Amino acid sequence: MNDLPVDPLLQEMAAELQRHLHRSQISAPLMIGIHTGGVWVAKRLHRQMGLEEPLGTLNISFYRDDFSRIGVHPQVKPSRLPVTVEDRHIILVDDVLQTGRTVRAALNEIFDYGRPASVALAVLVDRPGRELPIQPTVAGIHLQLEPHQQIKLEGPEPLRLILLESVERVEPQ
């Protein structure tokens, strides 16, 4: 598996999110994508679901608690929440959920803007490696990857999931 098709995953995610909204009696959710891959996924879901509220975007770079490990991305894009989050039902969208730290940082930023009524988490890929107790409401696919494997979303057009194998360098003795 080197390349996974994304469109069927997005179609199923949109349908599952619609079922979740119906069960929860939510009629006008606010969708927010996390930069960068989460925004790509959110744009597609937003369009497929026919949501009327404008799409929000978050850049959680300054909310991360692991700067020393991942470094600061030099091209920081501002967050854009077009409407208030206070008492709103939010669909938070990201591309890959692994440790949960990105989602925690996104929740911190959202709560800086106000207190939502609820937050549903939609991720394209759910993979093992949780460091925080965060689970998706909807996931496109659950992947069991080896520790040396990574999954990356490339885009924005076309969207493609790429499986990467890290190669360990062995220094000669």
User: What 3-state class would DSSP assign to 124?
Assistant: strand
Instruction: Judge whether 169 lies within some domain.
Output: no
List the CATH number of the domain containing 46: 3.40.50.2020
Instruction: Judge whether 110 lies within some domain.
Output: yes
Instruction: Judge whether 61 lies within some domain.
Output: yes
- Beta carbons within 8 Å of 18's beta carbon, 6+ residues apart: 49
Range of the domain at 98: 7-66+74-142
Give the total number of structural domains in the chain. 1
**Global confidence as pTM:** 0.88
Instruction: Judge whether 134 lies within some domain.
Output: yes
Instruction: Judge whether 166 lies within some domain.
Output: no
Instruction: Judge whether 155 lies within some domain.
Output: no
Instruction: Judge whether 152 lies within some domain.
Output: no
- Cα 126 to Cα 35, 67, 122, 143, 151: the distances in Å are 17, 23, 9, 6, 10
Can you tell me the distance from the alpha carbon of 76 to that of 132, in angstroms, rounded to the nearest whole number?
25
- pLDDT per residue rounded down to tens, the chain (173 residues): 467 889 999 999 999 999 999 999 999 999 999 999 999 999 999 999 999 999 999 998 766 555 445 455 545 567 889 889 999 999 999 999 999 999 999 999 999 999 999 999 999 999 999 999 999 999 999 999 888 889 999 998 899 999 998 765 445 55
Instruction: Judge whether 108 lies within some domain.
Output: yes
